[in-house]
């Protein structure tokens, strides 16, 4: 259950410019994404125009403006994982889900993102599915994995 926006904003009593990023981060942690309402409210509170906030938030890649999927996949694309074939995993996920990194499928089931290094270099390629690690992933395992996950969502 997410907290009321005002409760989060109230924590930043002084309302200075440097509070902007931590505030947006906290809202996103709580609600999963930055809604239009959140951006407008933050702007009113900090006295900043919404375009400025949107401009800042889009500069950084950890902010998202649509809710993440029920299943979030993160793919490590560090050098070691790349040498072991993470590119083909990204390609396969793209094919399977039909979306680009950072997007969410229309049914709201899947989203995925590419991260630069998870630090599990000798177990690469590494992916996480809702925080759970999978190591030595092969592209041909993915359709099966995604099918299984879809089954879990449908029967949830």
Partner 1 sequence: MEDLKSFLIEKVLLFESDTLSSDTEKVLGQVRREKPAQPVVYLSSGTSSLIAGSARTYSAIENYISENALEAKLISVGCTGPANFEPLVCVHIPGKNKLFFRNITEEKVEPLLNGVFHNDINEDDLAGQTGTKGFELWPGIPFMDEHPFFSNQKRVVLGNCGCYDPESIEEYIARGGYRSYVKAIRHYTYDEVCDIIEKSGLRGRSGGGYLTGLKWKHALNTNANARYLICNAKESDPGAFTDRTILESDPHRLLEGIAIGAYAIGASNAIIFIRSGSDHARNRLQRAIDSAREFGLFGHDIFSSGYNLDIVIKKEPGAFVCGEETALINTLEGKRGMPQLKPPYPTTAGLFGKPTVINNVETLMNVPLIMQNGPEWFRSLGTENSPGTKVFAVAGKGRMSGVVEVEMGTSIRTILEDIADGIREGKDFKAIQLGGASGSFITSEHLDLTIDFDELRENGIGMGAGGFVIIDENTCMVDLVRYYMEFIRNESCGKCIPCREGTGRMLEILESVIRKPLNEESGTTLERFKGVMQLETIASVMKDTSLCGLGQTAPNPFMSALKNFRDEFEEHIFDRKCRANICRGLRSFSIDVEKCTGCTACASKCPVNAIYGTRLQPFFIVEDKCIGCGICFDICKFSAITVK
Binding interface with partner 1 (CB under 8 A): 16-22, 24-25, 55-56, 59-63, 77-80, 82-83, 87, 95, 115-123, 126, 133, 135, 140
Q: State the minimum distance, in angstroms, from the CB of residue 101 to partner 1.
A: 10
Helix H or strand E encompassing 127: strand 127-129
Q: State the minimum distance, in angstroms, from the CB of residue 154 to partner 1.
A: 26
Task: Report the C-alpha gap between 32 and 141 in whole angstroms.
Answer: 28
30-62: buried (b, 16+ CB within 10 Å) or exposed (e) per residue? ebeebbeebbebbbebbebeeeebbeebeeeee
Q: State the minimum distance, in angstroms, from the CB of residue 149 to partner 1.
A: 19
Nearer to partner 1, 36 or 95 (CB): 95
Q: State the minimum distance, in angstroms, from the CB of residue 138 to partner 1.
A: 8
Task: Report the C-alpha gap between 81 and 77 in whole angstroms.
Answer: 6
State whether the Cα torsion 28-30-32-34 is positive or negative: negative
């Amino acid at each position: 259950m997410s907290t009321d926006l005002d409760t989060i904003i109230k924590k930043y009593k002084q309302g200075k410019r440097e509070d902007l990023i931590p505030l947006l981060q906290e809202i996103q942690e709580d609600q999963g994404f930055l809604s239009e309402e959140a951006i407008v409210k933050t702007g009113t509170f900090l006295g900043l125009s919404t375009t400025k906030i949107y401009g800042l938030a889009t500069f950084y890649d950890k902010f998202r403006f649509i809710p993440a999927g029920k299943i979030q996949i993160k793919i490590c694309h560090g050098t070691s994982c790349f040498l072991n074939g993470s590119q083909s995993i990204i390609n396969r996920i793209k094919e399977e889900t039909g979306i680009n990194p950072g997007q969410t499928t229309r049914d709201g089931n899947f989203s995925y993102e590419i991260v630069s290094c998870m630090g599990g270099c000798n177990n690469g390629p590494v992916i996480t599915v809702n925080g759970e690690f999978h190591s030595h992933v092969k592209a041909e395992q993915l359709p099966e994995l995604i099918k299984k996950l879809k089954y879990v969502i449908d029967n949830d």
